[in-house]
């Protein structure tokens, strides 16, 4: 059975596409940046072997975010889980040098539209470390509503205060 891959999605400045081996050097750079790692799970990958596994673990809801002009990896967006064809949880990571440029907003907006129009999801959620103010600002700008802050909760293998957001599509 053929593995389903994420479809290409183009925006004004970006192309969202399946992960590729050529992304590995920038993936390593992103995952080894301490500012990026601060809000990730308990053991974010750091080594090339882990990056190869991530690239090979393609699904129809995991995208590399690349600059349209150069096809250079700058981050990723994913819907790691979909519940009952109704609810998806959105996640994203970007290289530190691309924070504040509007790329995350552009990429996540495009995936949100794909979730609504193609995947026919009805709702998206986001779980964010409550201390991650830039991510919380982004998700709120995208129209998500803060549902609850769960103190000392499970967040990708570690304990943190978790802000839980939701958006009806």
What pLDDT sits at residue 81? 87
Please answer whether residues 77 and 108 qualify as being in contact, where contact means their C-beta atoms are separated by less than 8 angstroms.
yes
CATH architecture for residues 9-168: 3-Layer(aba) Sandwich (3.40)
Taking Cα atoms as reference points, which of 135, 140, 144, 141 lies closest to residue 169?
Answer: 144
Residue 130 to residue 153: CA distance in whole angstroms = 11
Burial 113-130 (b: 16+ CB within 10 A, else e): ebbeeebebeebbbbbbb
CA 137 to chain centroid, in Å, comes to 15
The residue ranges of every structural domain in the chain are 9-168
What pLDDT sits at residue 2? 58
What pLDDT sits at residue 58? 85
pTM of the model: 0.93
Residue 53 to residue 55: CA distance in whole angstroms = 5
Please answer whether residues 98 and 133 qualify as being in contact, where contact means their C-beta atoms are separated by less than 8 angstroms.
no
Tokens of 2: 């053929």
Mean pLDDT by 10 residues, the chain (169 residues): 83 97 96 91 84 90 97 96 93 96 98 96 97 97 98 90 97
What pLDDT sits at residue 3? 63
């Amino acid at each position: 059975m053929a593995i389903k891959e994420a479809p290409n999605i183009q925006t004004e400045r970006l192309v969202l596409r399946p992960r590729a081996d050529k992304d590995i050097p920038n993936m390593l750079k992103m995952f080894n940046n301490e500012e990026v790692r601060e809000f990730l799970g308990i053991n974010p990958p750091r080594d090339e072997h882990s990056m190869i596994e991530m690239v090979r673990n393609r699904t129809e809801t995991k995208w590399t975010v690349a600059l349209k002009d150069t096809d250079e990896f700058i981050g990723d967006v994913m819907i790691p889980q979909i519940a009952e064809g109704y609810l998806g949880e959105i996640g994203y990571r970007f290289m530190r040098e691309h924070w504040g440029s509007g790329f995350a907003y552009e990429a996540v907006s495009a995936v949100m539209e794909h979730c609504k129009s193609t995947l026919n999801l009805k709702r998206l959620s986001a779980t964010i470390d409550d201390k991650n103010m830039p991510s919380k600002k982004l998700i709120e700008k995208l129209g998500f509503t803060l549902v609850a802050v769960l103190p000392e909760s499970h967040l990708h293998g570690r304990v943190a205060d978790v802000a839980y957001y939701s958006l009806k599509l």
